[in-house]
Each structure stands twice: as structure tokens, then as C-alpha cells.
Amino acid sequence: MNFELNEDRRMLADALGRFLSEQYPPEVRNRVAYGDQGYSPDVYGKLAEIGAIGALLPEEQGGFGGEGADIALVFETLGSHLVAGPVLGALLVGRALVLAGSDAQQQRLAGLIDGSVLAAFAHDEPANHYELERVATTARRDGDGWVLHGAKAVVPFGDQAQLLLVSARTAGDVGDAQGISLFLVPGDAPGVKTRGYGRIDGGHAAEVSFENVRLDADALLGGEGEGFALLERIVGYGLLALSAESLGAMERAKADTLEYLRTRRQFGVPIGSFQALQHRMADLLLEVEQARSAVINAAAAIDEGDRIAREKALSAAKYSVGKIGTLVAEETIQLHGGIGMTWELPLAHYAKRLVMIDHQLGDMDHHLARWMALRD
Amino acid sequence: MDLQFTPEEEAFRAEVRAFLQEHLPRDLAAKVKAGQRLTRFDQENWHAILNKKGWLAYHWPVQWGGTAWTPIQKFIFDDESARAGGPRLVPFGISMLGPVLIRYGSEEQKKHWLPRILDGSDWWCQGYSEPGAGSDLASLKTTAVRQGDHYVVNGQKTWTTQGQHANMMFCLARTDKAAKAQSGISFLLIDMNQPGVEVRPIRTLDGDAEVNEVFLTDVRVPLENLVGEENKGWTYAKYLLTYERTGIAGVGFSVASLEKLKLIASRVQRNGKPLAEDPQFATRMAQVEIDLENMKTTNLRVLAAVQGGGVPGAESSMLKIRGTVIRQELLSLIRRAMGPYALPYIEEAQHAGWGEPPVGPPEAATAAAAYFNYRKLSIFGGSNEIQKNIISKTILGL
């Protein structure tokens, strides 16, 4: 067994961590994350330059990594600096292109890797409540191409993306796994309407609707009606990424809280000397280590050929960080007392992100039920 | 043993319900139920409506405009009001300062200040907490030095809820620096509209700014604004805090939240069924409903024990802990029911009168913000950890 990072990964982690420490302190983060665009194009460009996006994709397709450990490493670092931006979209759309893209479609990867193209994964719908199969958006054949119709919910950076990956039903009923197809849709295609807004944890999202959007034949990614398996694989990468991001954020929240317990004095002593608080921090430490193990399991399983083993590890990780992330958020606010409630304290924003990660790509209830349903 | 309310109590409940039906403004109730932010006018308006009926300061003695209601009647009123969408009464004048003045204030102070609390002439805020003090209230550093017929007050207060609206602050200040921590503190009434008082908002994590820092620089307080005796303020402060904690179980608000949760869970679908029929979500709802029922009875037991008068002691700490944990769990479930729609945050949608269609279910506009904002419940009014210390010492004798 070896849980050490290899040399390349350590160098990437160092470079990324150093850049974010210097260029992305909490005040900068909050200004851009809660600002008009919800992210900094400049910082995003630099992340791409350092290689944070390339590291998410395999070498054959122009990346330089793409293994589970690479993805976990990048997102843990992004989480520990609370980076708001479209990196998750680049990962999901990029992996979709790698898994199912034709040669022509894979040409788009270059723009994702160098940060010049902003991509968004548009799958959730107003009524799907995390269920992967519940796709009501439709695409029907029209000559050589397609006509897309429907609505997608809370698409991260969906109002700014140039490239949308959209799930749509080409056959079957809402709720069927069969009959789902995936499409590459230009953000500015006629008939694409967006309603953008800020998110409570920073960053942007949008309601995206498609009113008879005409697509060329090559917009279809993968086989017609066979999109579910692909969808599951893509979301799997998202589960790993969000779990690792959560881990990074909880480590930071833990460290900040420990520092506070050591320095904040009440009743004449540091509050960390109270046994009641010591035990709570000890519990937190145990839980965060469990989350780290869950992320390691998921990173190891992401390329596993056996679907059940892979998906169970991914759902286990997302369930774990959903539960533990919320606990860490609530406990670290509580341990900080009133100051933990303030906008001024970086921890408050970590706490919001930790809780909101549970609202992306399936919450702890969803993944616990899914884990139980996944059988050999 | 009889767990039923008496016929008199049921008649009282009907009276309260009829009053609310007729006098609680519909738009105000709708705002409260939607979790939207209330304006100063909303709060003043509701106080005025209750005052006209004589029900505003319902736990004061009749002599000063109270109602002579029993603790159970007060409970019934709170319960009915919260269910109907009545706003939480701003507690600072009515529930905190009022009882202190009635018990410890001079006749002049009572005659002057109590009617002004009732008719809304003054909006009070609480000057207890200080930076670096928090639940260790006795470590406060604000000083009041006697100069002729005035105290001169210097220091800084924090977490001053609705201090931006207040024209008066009741305040703890150190009048004897040599004394032990809990001695040497005095209870002063400070006019906020005078030189040396500066209020600065503190923005909380949900984006709102309802708490403030208050800076006091050479603020002059006439001697007649000292409540009770000099250096005895700690006694009055503790008395006030017991009052603060009695209502803090917030049973009515939890009942209202539970109703809201059930409504949402009947509408939001998961796997083609309402969330209310989803085994996991239904389990969580059932657990918190049972906890709430239990706490309601615990609350009534405590109230029944003090029917003869007085206020509960350390039992209020139990109510504070359970009540806040339950309410936080309810708000957490409402947030969770929103699914991905917990993420959008649109500032304008927090207020009534936003003309746009909602993003996601109508409750989504405030669900996550309310969840984050109400993390404060287990922190303020003496954190839940402090309450546990009180229980350990007072009830368990440890």
C-alpha cells in the first residue's frame, strides 16, 4: 500500500496551492465569487495555465493525468481555497468528450484545457430532485439534425458557458433509463434562454431553457438513446470531484477552528481547554479522516471496470461528505460562536460551501438509497 | 394526571384564534410564513395592533398593562400566533427590559419607560455582549465613570440585534474596576441619539445585516438612568436572561415550521412520489415531529410547575437546547427538500413585493438563507454549551 503522492502530482499540488495562497486570498475570493460573474476569468485562466484543468484529463486527449488521484488532488486543493469557478463543468464535459466523443468532437477538448472555452453540464431539471433517469427535456430528429426542447435547473455558470452538455430524451418516458441521449449545445444557439443568478455559496448558476433549439447531426455525443451509462460515468467524475472539494474545505474549516480554540480565551483560559469542546473537535477529526478515506476509495474506484464496485464507492463518498461536510459546517460555526455567523470570517463561507455540496449531484439521502440499491 | 387543556384554556385558545383571524394583517402573515424579511414598519405595526388589544406585554402585571395570563395561556397565545403567521415580538423592550424595570426599577422609571415600551415610543436594543466576551458575559470591559450627575460610558458592544432601529439601549457597564468580575457592573439606560454613540452593521453569513456593533465614546448617561443599585447590575442581568430563555424554546415557531415542511414535502417529488412518502425523508420528518411533541410536553411541564408565578430556572436551559436543536433540524429539512434549488440566492427575493417569478419552488428563495441564519439559535442567548454547563451545575450538582 502506498498513499503518497507521486512527484508530478506533488509539484502540481504545490504550484496550485502556492498560486491560490498568493493570488486568491479570502477577500479576493469573496469579491469575485459573489460578484457579477461569480468567478474570476483571470484566475480561471491562470488555473488552466498551471495545469489544473489538464490534470483532469488523460494524456491521449491532450491532458496530463486524468486518474482518480489527479482529480481528487486538484479538487481538494480547489476546495481548501474555496475556489468558485467553472472547473467542475470542464471536468464533466471534458470527460464526456473523452469517453464518447468522435475525433471531431474531441477537438473541443483543447479549448477546455487551455481555459478559453467555458463548459457547463446541464442535466438537473426543475422536477428531477437528483434522479439521473428523470429527464423530461426532449430531442427529436429533424432531417439530419435535432430539435431540442425543455428546461434545465441550477446549471453552474449556465448563463456564461459557451458549451453546454445537455441530457435529453430521444425515446421512452420520463424516468426511463433507456432513451436518454447527450448533446453538445453552443451556449449562444438560437432558442437557448438563460436566467442567471448568484448562489448562496458563491459562484453563479442559471435556469437554462431550450425552445426548439436546432442542432446539427454531430451535436449528439455517443449513441442515440444510450446516454444513461455515459451520464452515470460523467456524474461519477463529478461525485469524486465534489467529494474531494468537500474534503479540502473541511480540512481548512477544521484547521481554522483548531486555531480559534487555541487562541480564543473565555473565563480566563483558551476555550480549547474545555473538555466538552475537546471531545467535539476529536469527533470532528475522526469524521474528517473518514471522509478522506471515502475520497481515496472513490479515487481508486473511478476507473474500475466493474460498475457496481465503482458506483458504490462513488455514492459512498458523496454520502460521506454530505453527512460529514454538514456536520463540519455546523460544528465549526458553533465552536466559533457569534463570530462564526459573520460574513467577515472566511470560515462562514467554507461552511456554506460544505453544506451546498450536498445539494449538487445528489444529497446524502439520495446516495445512501442509491448505494443500497446497487447490487451485484 | 390530565394532559388535556381545560375548557377555560380551550375557550381562551378560541378567543386568541378569532382575534388573530380578524386582526393579523394577511400580507404580514404571508411574509412571515414565506420566511421573508420584515421591515421596521411590519414589526411596529404588529406591536401597535396587539397593544390596542392590551395583549402586547402579556407577561407584565395588570397594573402596568399586562394581562394576568397564566403561563399556559401565554403558551397558547404564542402557539396560536406562530401558527397563524404572527411575527415574533421584538423582545428587547417587552420581554427583557420590561420585567427588569417592573422588578428593580424606581417608580419614576416605571412610569416613564413602561408606557413608552407599550406605545412604541422607544425601540430598545440590548447592550450586553462585547467583542471577546460572548458567553463569558462577566468579562465585559465597557466602563461607566461617575462625573457629577452623569456617568461617562466608554466601550464597545456587539451582536446588537436591530440596533440600527433602536433609539434606546439597556446596557451593562463596569462601574467598579477593582471588584470581582461579576460585581461592579451596573445596568444603564442609554439614549442612542446622542454624540458618542456609533452603530455599525455586521453582515452575517447569509448576507443580511440585522446585528450591529455599537461604539460608545464618552457617552453621557444621567444618574436617573441607572436601574436599581450601582454595582448590582449582574443580578438584574441574570434575571433578564432567565426571561430571555423562557420563550426561546419557540414551540410555536417550530410547529409553524413543521407545517411548512409538511406542505413542501407533499409538493416536492422524488422518484415520482412526494417527498413525504420517500422512506428516508419521511423518517427524518417523523423523528423531528416526535422530538417536537416531546418538547412541547416538556415545555408545558415546566410551565405547569411555575403556574403559581415566577420564572423557570435551569429548566429553561433544557428548553433552550432542545427548542433550538429542533428548530434547526426543521430548517435543515426544509433546505434539503429544495434539492438543487437550495443553491440560488437572490437578495431581492428575500423581501416581499419582488415582482419576478420564483426560481424553483416558492420556498426556495429563503430556505437556505434561513437555515444558515438560524445557526445562531444555538449560539445566542447563552450558547447551548453554556446551557449544558448550567444544567450540569444547577440540576445535576456536578
Residues of B in Cβ contact (< 8 Å) with A341: 204-205, 211, 375-376, 379
What residues pair up with A131 in beta bridges, in sequence order?
none
Nearest residue to B169 (alpha-carbon basis) of B159, B177, B178, B179 = B159
Indicate if B170 and B302 belong to the same structural domain: no
Please report whether residue B94 resides in a domain: no
CA distance A212 to A121: 19
Which grid coordinates belong to B158? Answer: 456587539
Please report whether residue B106 resides in a domain: no
Q: Answer whether B375 sits within 8 Å of A153, measured CB to CB.
A: no
Residue B61 touches partner A, C-beta closer than 8 Å: no
Please report whether residue B160 resides in a domain: yes
Q: Answer whether B203 sits within 8 Å of A277, measured CB to CB.
A: no
Q: Around Cβ B181, how many Cβ atoms within 10 Å?
A: 15
Point out the residue among A175, A334, A368 whose CB comes nearest to the CB of B378. Answer: A334
Q: Answer whether B281 sits within 8 Å of A365, measured CB to CB.
A: yes
Q: Around Cβ B384, how many Cβ atoms within 10 Å?
A: 19
Nearest residue to A117 (alpha-carbon basis) of A100, A97, A137 = A97
Distance from CA of A339 to the nearest CA of B (A): 9
- From-to residues of CATH 1.10.540.10 in chain A: 7-116
Indicate if B268 and B371 belong to the same structural domain: yes
CA distance A266 to B289: 36
- From-to residues of CATH 2.40.110.10 in chain A: 120-225
Point out the residue among B270, B281, B379 whose CB comes nearest to the CB of A341. Answer: B379
**pLDDT beneath 70: ranges in chain B:** 1-2, 243-248, 308-312
CA distance B76 to B4: 13
Residue of A nearest to B368 (CA): A200
Q: Show the 3-state SS of chain A.
A: CCCCCCHHHHHHHHHHHHHHHHHCCHHHHHHHHCCCCCCCHHHHHHHHHHCCCHHHCCHHHCCCCCCHHHHHHHHHHHHHCCCCCCHHHHHHHHHHHHHHCCHHHHCCHHHHHCCCCCEEEECCCCCCCCCCCCCCCEEEEECCEEEEEEEEEEEECCCCCCEEEEEEECCCCCCCCCCEEEEEEECCCCCEEEEEEEECCCCEEEEEEEEEEEECHHHEECCCCEHHHHHHHHHHHHHHHHHHHHHHHHHHHHHHHHHHHHHCEECCEEHHHCHHHHHHHHHHHHHHHHHHHHHHHHHHHCCCCCHHHHHHHHHHHHHHHHHHHHHHHHHHHHHHHHHHHECCCHHHHHHHHHHHHCCCCCCHHHHHHHHHHCCC
pLDDT, position B19: 98
Please report whether residue B286 resides in a domain: yes
Indicate if B135 and B61 belong to the same structural domain: no
Please report whether residue B238 resides in a domain: no
Nearest residue to A111 (alpha-carbon basis) of A62, A172, A52, A165 = A62
Residue of A nearest to B158 (CA): A338
CA distance A304 to A289: 23
CA geometry: angle A268, A269, A273, nearest 5 deg = 155
Best CATH choice for the domain A120-225 from the list 1.10.1040.50, 2.60.40.10, 2.60.40.420, 2.40.110.10: 2.40.110.10
What b/e string do you get for B322-354 counting C-beta neighbours within 10 Å, with b at 16 or more?
A: bbbbbbbbbbbbbbbbbbbbbbbbbeebbeeee
Please report whether residue B392 resides in a domain: yes
Distance from CA of B134 to the nearest CA of A (A): 8
- Which domain-ending residue is among B68, B89, B110? B89
CA distance A174 to B70: 57
Q: What's the Rg (C-alpha) of chain B?
A: 22
pLDDT, position B182: 83
Point out the residue among A153, A195, A342 whose CB comes nearest to the CB of B205. Answer: A342
Residues of A in Cβ contact (< 8 Å) with B269: 127, 129
CA distance A274 to A262: 11
For domain A7-116, give the fold. Butyryl-Coa Dehydrogenase, subunit A; domain 1 (1.10.540)
CA distance A8 to A64: 10
Return the residue in B211, B324, B375, B386 with the most chain A beta carbons within 10 A, the one to mutate for interface testing.
Answer: B375
| Cβ atoms of B158 and B202 closer than 8 Å | yes
Nearest residue to B30 (alpha-carbon basis) of B87, B85, B90, B89 = B85
Q: Give the rounded distance of the alpha carbon of A74 from its chain centre.
A: 11
Name the amino acid, one letter, at A137.
T
Indicate if B258 and B199 belong to the same structural domain: no
Place of cell 416605571: B110
CA distance A340 to A349: 10
pLDDT, position B200: 97
Q: Answer whether B385 sits within 8 Å of A277, measured CB to CB.
A: yes
| Cβ atoms of A68 and A3 closer than 8 Å | no
Return the residue in B328, B335, B343 with the most chain A beta carbons within 10 A, the one to mutate for interface testing.
Answer: B343
| Cβ atoms of B101 and B66 closer than 8 Å | no
pLDDT, position B291: 94
Point out the residue among B336, B344, B368 whose CB comes nearest to the CB of A205. Answer: B344
Residues of B in Cβ contact (< 8 Å) with A338: 129, 134, 158-159, 376, 379-380
Q: Answer whether A360 sits within 8 Å of B340, measured CB to CB.
A: yes
Catalytic annotation, residues of B: 244
Return the residue in B268, B345, B348, B396 with the most chain A beta carbons within 10 A, the one to mutate for interface testing.
Answer: B345
Indicate if B211 and B334 belong to the same structural domain: no
Nearest residue to A183 (alpha-carbon basis) of A211, A147, A151 = A147
- From-to residues of CATH 1.20.140.10 in chain A: 228-373
Residue B159's Cβ-side half-sphere holds a number of Cα atoms within 13 Å equal to 21
Indicate if B391 and B252 belong to the same structural domain: yes
Chain B, 201 to 240: residues with Cβ < 8 Å from chain A are: 202-207, 211
Return the residue in B141, B271, B284 with the most chain A beta carbons within 10 A, the one to mutate for interface testing.
Answer: B271
Indicate if B306 and B347 belong to the same structural domain: yes
CA distance B230 to A291: 55
Q: Answer whether A341 sits within 8 Å of B205, measured CB to CB.
A: yes
Distance from CA of B342 to the nearest CA of A (A): 7
- Which domain-ending residue is among B206, B231, B256? B231
Name the amino acid, one letter, at B42.
D
Name the amino acid, one letter, at B21.
Q
Q: Around Cβ A276, how many Cβ atoms within 10 Å?
A: 11
Q: How many residue pairs from chains A and B have C-beta atoms closer than 8 A?
A: 136
Residue B379 touches partner A, C-beta closer than 8 Å: yes
Look at the alpha carbons of B284, B286, B289, B290 in this order and tell me if their dihedral is positive or negative.
Answer: negative
Indicate if B53 and B16 belong to the same structural domain: yes
CA distance A198 to B180: 51
Point out the residue among B270, B332, B385 whose CB comes nearest to the CB of A276. Answer: B385
CA distance B214 to B282: 45
| Cβ atoms of B390 and B357 closer than 8 Å | no
Please report whether residue B96 resides in a domain: no
**CATH no. of A228-373:** 1.20.140.10
Please report whether residue B298 resides in a domain: yes
Give the domain CATH number at B130: 2.40.110.10
Indicate if B389 and B289 belong to the same structural domain: yes
Give the domain CATH number at B333: 1.20.140.10
Average pLDDT, 10 consecutive residues per value, chain A (376 residues): 75 94 98 98 97 95 92 97 98 98 97 97 95 96 97 98 98 96 98 98 98 97 97 98 98 98 93 94 96 96 94 97 98 96 97 98 96 87
Residue B340 touches partner A, C-beta closer than 8 Å: yes
Residues of A in Cβ contact (< 8 Å) with B335: 355
Q: Answer whether A130 sits within 8 Å of B388, measured CB to CB.
A: no
DSSP state of B349: G
pLDDT, position B68: 86
- How many domains, chain B? 3
Indicate if B147 and B221 belong to the same structural domain: yes
ipTM: 0.92
Indicate if B198 and B152 belong to the same structural domain: yes
Q: Answer whether A343 sits within 8 Å of B268, measured CB to CB.
A: no
Chain B, 145 to 174: residues with Cβ < 8 Å from chain A are: 158-159
Domain of residue B85 covers 7-89
Which grid coordinates belong to A86? Answer: 467553472
| Cβ atoms of B151 and B218 closer than 8 Å | no
CA distance A165 to A185: 6
CA distance A183 to A173: 18
Distance from CA of B122 to the nearest CA of A (A): 27
Distance from CA of B72 to the nearest CA of A (A): 32
CA distance A28 to A32: 6
Q: What's the Rg (C-alpha) of chain A?
A: 21
Which grid coordinates belong to B63? Answer: 397594573
Q: How far is CA B282 from CA A63, A215, B140, in A?
A: 45, 42, 46
Q: Around Cβ B195, how many Cβ atoms within 10 Å?
A: 9
| Cβ atoms of A219 and A145 closer than 8 Å | yes
Indicate if B298 and B380 belong to the same structural domain: yes
Point out the residue among A153, A195, A341 whose CB comes nearest to the CB of B340. Answer: A153
pLDDT, position B71: 82
| Cβ atoms of A121 and A92 closer than 8 Å | yes
Point out the residue among A126, A345, A368 whose CB comes nearest to the CB of B360. Answer: A126
